[in-house]
Amino acid sequence: MKKETFVTKEQLDEIIKDYPTPFHLYDEKGIRRNMQALRDAFSWNKGYKEYFAVKATPNPYLIDILREYGCGCDCSSYTELMLSEAVGATGDDIMFSSNDTPAEEFIYAEKLGAIINLDDITHIEFLEETIGYIPKTISCRYNPGGLFKISNDIMDNPGDSKYGMTTEQLFEAFKILKSKGAEEFGIHAFLASNTVTNEYYPMLAKILFEEAVRLQKETGVHIKFINLSGGIGIPYTPDQEPNDIRIIGDGVRRVYEEVLVPAGMGDVEIYTELGRFMLGPYGCLVTEAIHEKHTHKEYIGVDACAVNLMRPAMYGAYHHVTVMGREDCPCDHKYDVVGSLCENNDKFAIDRMLPKVEMGDILVIHDTGAHGFSMGYNYNGKLKSAELLLKEDGSAQLIRRAETPADYFATFDCFDIGKKLLNMR
């Protein structure tokens, strides 16, 4: 399938007059359409709720859009809790799905009335000591171990992941939590990441629903919700078939009716903590070609670098690249598209077939709407870019300014050298 950009060259030419490249651009129309489709897909479940995984794209303006559709926030750090509070998501609008959790984060989560999702059985005692009691509503994260397979494909390796409790620990945790006053229970698991198949959620749901029936029978607790967490992926490459959220929602409904309803558990609420699926395709990194280099390979140097998008450097991830205005030209040139870091893995694309790129061309790097800007760092003293929202009317709104050297040096502000740096231009 051909991957299209959600923004036209004419629109970008206008936007670039006001905002220099590089920047991340988000597509309001796409975000809303996808959000509505997710809601529709799970409308069969009365208590359904999506908790947007804040780490994917921690921008309050984007979270505000999702909030209009009833989204809560899935947080796992102090500042994510702050963001959540700032957009008005408190109480059971927050799922605190953290791990290796510092005490002050549990304290803040409790203060906000968040639902706490415990990553480990030892966190029961830690939480009780930290906040002084066990909340009435509590959730536990499950990790059945082994490999997670669909048909014969290995999707992921839960047995090798640091998250969650074993089956035995989960049963034990529920008993302990109940004896300490918990009344409403949740079960959470995240067993495979970026799955581009409609079968992941229904398979995960079956594992969790069967576990829930056993837990309710054996421990006598009331299971209020089952949290399928994140993991629904997006097609980064042109040959991948996108997930169909309607089929996924329907698949989960079928397992629900097969496993939970006959067990008298037809009141269980389904929660999700999607990040990538919510925003991934609705963001892109816009960058300009500023150098070409002909040595042992052909290079195009752009004004963005891995600081703006780390996934290719970190995972060797594929991100599609469109050379704006040359969509209909043949892809008859093989390039490495690179950033300026003194780090050879700073390459957005390797041996990529593209149309001939001219200096000044605008390149759109696709699918950066989740785990894009947010994974950024400041290596080589490079600064993070702005974030812009392409509104439904086609205009662009700044939703985060670009970093300046003053931001980069701000943590020296308590020293004389800091005062000097902050006054330099």
At 372 the three-state DSSP class reads coil
d(C-alpha 275, C-alpha 194), whole Å = 10
Stretches 52-60, 173-181, 284-292, 341-349: which one binds ligand PLP (CB under 6 A)? 52-60
End-to-end CA distance of the chain: 47
Minimum distance between the CB of residue 323 and ligand PLP, rounded to whole angstroms? Answer: 28
Closest CA to 187 of 125, 237, 119, 246: 119
Among 193, 237, 240, 380, binds ligand PLP (CB under 6 A): 193
Q: Point out the catalytic residue in the list 140, 305, 331, 342.
A: 342
Interface positions, 332-371, toward ligand PLP (CB under 6 A): 370
The angle, 0 to 180 degrees and rounded to 10, between the axes of the packed helices 28-41 and 60-67 is 40
Angle in degrees, CA 398, 278, 105, rounded to 5: 85
Stretches 6-14, 80-88, 187-195, 353-361: which one binds ligand PLP (CB under 6 A)? 187-195
Cα dihedral: 92, 94, 97, 98 (round 10): -130
At 147 the three-state DSSP class reads coil
Closest CA to 206 of 178, 185, 234, 187: 187
Among 164, 202, 231, 249, binds ligand PLP (CB under 6 A): 231
- For ligand PLP, give the closer residue by CB, 280 or 312: 280
C-alpha distances out from residue 64 to 42, 58, 60, Å: 21, 11, 6
Please report whether residue 74 would count as binding ligand PLP according to CB under 6 A: yes
- For ligand PLP, give the closer residue by CB, 98 or 308: 98
> Beta-carbon neighbour count of residue 197 at 10 Å?
19
- For ligand PLP, give the closer residue by CB, 78 or 408: 78
Stretches 2-10, 188-196, 328-336, 416-424: which one binds ligand PLP (CB under 6 A)? 188-196
Please report whether residue 52 would count as binding ligand PLP according to CB under 6 A: no
Closest CA to 367 of 242, 191, 225: 242
- For ligand PLP, give the closer residue by CB, 228 or 284: 228
R_g of the chain, CA atoms, integer Å: 23
Scan for tokens 């969509």, then name that residue.
327
Stretches 21-29, 189-197, 323-331, 353-361: which one binds ligand PLP (CB under 6 A)? 189-197
Minimum distance between the CB of residue 201 and ligand PLP, rounded to whole angstroms? Answer: 11
Please report whether residue 182 would count as binding ligand PLP according to CB under 6 A: no
Please report whether residue 276 would count as binding ligand PLP according to CB under 6 A: yes
Stretches 152-160, 228-236, 245-253, 396-404: which one binds ligand PLP (CB under 6 A)? 228-236
Please report whether residue 190 would count as binding ligand PLP according to CB under 6 A: yes
Q: Which residues pair with 335 in a beta bridge?
A: 352
d(C-alpha 179, C-alpha 3), whole Å = 54
Query: Contact letters (x/-) for ligand PLP, 365-384, by CB under 6 A?
Result: -----x--------------
Please report whether residue 57 would count as binding ligand PLP according to CB under 6 A: no
Please report whether residue 273 would count as binding ligand PLP according to CB under 6 A: yes
Q: Which residues pair with 285 in a beta bridge?
A: 24, 365
d(C-alpha 13, C-alpha 397), whole Å = 15
Stretches 223-231, 255-263, 321-329, 390-398: which one binds ligand PLP (CB under 6 A)? 223-231
d(C-alpha 376, C-alpha 294), whole Å = 29
Please report whether residue 101 would count as binding ligand PLP according to CB under 6 A: no
Please report whether residue 158 would count as binding ligand PLP according to CB under 6 A: no
Please report whether residue 274 would count as binding ligand PLP according to CB under 6 A: yes
Eight-state DSSP code of residue 232 = B
- For ligand PLP, give the closer residue by CB, 124 or 191: 191
C-alpha distances out from residue 373 to 278, 286, 306, 377, 407, Å: 15, 12, 10, 9, 16
C-alpha distances out from residue 23 to 60, 196, 294, Å: 17, 27, 27
Minimum distance between the CB of residue 298 and ligand PLP, rounded to whole angstroms? Answer: 34
Annotation marks residue 342 as catalytic: yes
Please report whether residue 219 would count as binding ligand PLP according to CB under 6 A: no
- For ligand PLP, give the closer residue by CB, 56 or 65: 56
Among 38, 53, 259, 286, binds ligand PLP (CB under 6 A): 53
The token pair at 338 is 């690179």
Q: Active-site residues: which are they?
A: 342
Task: List contacts with ligand PLP (CB under 6 A).
Answer: 53, 55-56, 74, 97, 190, 193-194, 229-231, 273-277, 370
